[in-house]
Amino acid sequence: MVKKGIFGGTFDPIHNGHLYIAHEAVERLNLDFLIFMPSGNPPHKTGRKKTDASIRYELVNMAIKEEKRFILSNFEIRNKGLSYTYKTLEYFNTIEPDTEWYFVTGADCLIELESWKSVDRILNLCKLAVFSRPGYNKEEILIHKEIAQKKYNKEIIFLDINPLNISSTDIKKMIREGKDVSLFLPKNVYNIVLELGLYKE
């Protein structure tokens, strides 16, 4: 059976921390492919300013195009309305019913799991794989993992990865302050950010 993961996020911008997590997820979960899913209009971020979806999509495309096991999908950004994870998973399960699906997400999403729409459907449609993020300790993550597993009677996988201590928010702040972010972005992504003057305001 083919094993595929979905790695969602705003990717605004995609950075080396995202790519590190993606490589680790592929290896640890033994995935055949990992699909990068730039978000369209996630319900928990409706009030936040985002870079145009077409630009975020192209930045991800540039970052992963040389990686054979990485795939880019525009499913969420081409659909109007709010982007719900369960709808994304329903779509991919429908078009590839014989694929074993994983959804790769951060510890913050596990801790906020009860605020997600149709959690039970999500956990029936995929295996949830959660990675650690800066600011969350392992014990806290494991407690929430245990609570969710008992409530929904589904296994949740914890990817014990030491994440790079950088975020898209940090990178945008550094750019506004005129600091060099070339170490945190893939070279071709960095070049586009410079060329388009992104994140300066």
Give the pLDDT means over successive 10-residue stretches in the chain (201 positions).
96 97 97 96 66 96 97 94 91 98 95 95 98 88 96 97 89 97 97 96 80
Q: Within a 13 Å sphere around the CA of 104, how many CA atoms are in the beta-carbon half?
A: 32
**What residues contact residue 194 under an 8 Å CB cut-off, 6+ apart?**
none
Q: How far apart are CA 185 and CA 142, in angstroms?
A: 30
Is 8 in contact with 105 (CB distance < 8 Å)?
yes
Report pLDDT digits (tens) over 163-186. 788 999 999 999 999 999 999 999
All structural domains of the chain with their residue ranges: 3-166
pLDDT value, residue 164: 86
- pTM value? 0.94
Amino acid making up residue 159: L
CA distances from 119 to 6, 38, 125, 170, 177 (A): 16, 20, 10, 30, 39
Helix and strand tally (H, E) in the chain?
9, 6
Tell me the C-alpha to C-alpha distance, in Å, between residue 2 and each of 54, 97, 99, 198: 29, 10, 5, 38
Strand partners, 201: none
Contact 101, 6 (CB under 8 A): yes
**Comparing C-alpha atoms, which of 46, 116, 108 is closest to residue 85?**
116
What's residue 49's pLDDT? 80
Q: Which fold has domain 3-166?
A: Rossmann fold (3.40.50)
| pLDDT, tens digit, 9 for 90 and up, residues 186-201 | 999 999 999 999 999 8
Q: Which amino acid is at 148?
A: A
The C-alpha atoms of residue 184 and residue 2 are separated, in whole angstroms, by: 32
CA atoms of 183 and 15, how far apart (whole Å): 9
- First vs last C-alpha separation in the chain: 47
Continuous segment of H or E residues that includes residue 7: strand 3-9
